[in-house]
Amino acid sequence: MKVKDILEKVKKNELSIEEASELIDNPLDYATIDFNREKRTGASEVIYGAGKTKEHIAGIIQNMLDHEVPNILVTRLDEAKHDYLKGLYPDFVYDALAQTFLLNRIQRPKNKGLIVVACAGTSDLPVAKEAVITARYLGNEVELITDVGVAGIHRLFNRMDVIEKASVIIAIAGMEGALASVIGGLTDKPVIAVPTSVGYGANFNGLAALLAMLNSCASGISVVNIDNGFGAGFMAHTINNLGGKKE
């Protein structure tokens, strides 16, 4: 609906001023963008790309740009949708492994602490990269350590110097999901466990790892959903944000 049509409806008392304001701020008939979210939560709305058409994603991005949203993150954006969007928005950076599409025009103030993302195996890297990119986008220093699963536990011990520097740790693993319990037993830092859908048949697409992490005997572990790197990165930011900003 055009602005003129909206104002005509207000004039005829067919729309309230509040309803008209909402329509002008959100001209899309398939999405209502929450432009006040950053004021409430410290982070603007993130676009979930899976299930949306490329045209809808483009429309949401454009609406956010029209409202001068400086930093925009799209998650779960596949190659086909990226091929369409990259021509429209060349300033965005695409990570094919994480399937993220990112615009960072204003650098956020950095949180004081360090977030460490520990990834059990190379097959878990797409989820790990999603967590890393999300946490960095929100204004955190992040270090990724890879291939430290329990099948070769000495590799984890070799990286304990990094883990001990962390304020928050994200532990990402498929198969039996044991990495989170091991890290939880070695550190006094909060651990966010992320089960992945990596594994053979009885892994049940990540359900085995999810249940193992939920039943961990190590204290101080929270668990997000299967393959939810974004949720883990956001939660790690929320915890790290409590320590305040760098000077």
For 79-132, the pLDDT digits (tens) are 999 999 999 999 999 999 999 999 988 888 898 999 999 999 999 999 999 999
pLDDT, position 16: 79
Domain ranges of the chain: 16-104, 114-241
pLDDT, position 2: 54
**Which one, of 48, 39, 220, 14, lies nearest residue 134 by Cα?**
48
**Cβ neighbourhood burial of 133 (10 Å; 0-12, 13-18, 19+):** buried
Q: What is the pTM of this model?
A: 0.86
List the alpha helices (DSSP H) in 138-206.
154-157, 160-163, 179-184
For the beta carbon of residue 50, count every other beta carbon within 10 angstroms: 10
CATH classification number, 114-241, choose in 3.40.50.1970, 3.60.15.10, 3.20.20.140, 3.40.50.1000: 3.40.50.1970
pLDDT, position 169: 97
For residues 223 and 171, is the Cβ–Cβ distance under 8 A? no
Residue 1 predicted with pLDDT over 60:
no
**Which one, of 133, 115, 139, 135, lies nearest residue 189 by Cα?**
115
For the beta carbon of residue 38, count every other beta carbon within 10 angstroms: 14
Chain segment 133-182, per-residue pLDDT in tens? 999 999 999 999 999 989 899 999 999 999 999 999 999 999 999 999 99
pLDDT, position 109: 86
Chain segment 166-224, per-residue pLDDT in tens? 999 999 999 999 999 999 999 999 999 999 999 999 999 999 999 999 999 998 899 99
For residues 155 and 148, is the Cβ–Cβ distance under 8 A? yes
Residue 6 predicted with pLDDT over 70:
no
Greater confidence, 242 or 32?
A: 242
**Which one, of 189, 196, 198, 193, lies nearest residue 170 by Cα?**
193
Tell me the mean pLDDT in the region 13-27.
68
List the alpha helices (DSSP H) in 116-227.
125-137, 154-157, 160-163, 179-184, 207-214
CA 194/CA 192 separation, integer angstroms:
7
pLDDT, position 5: 65
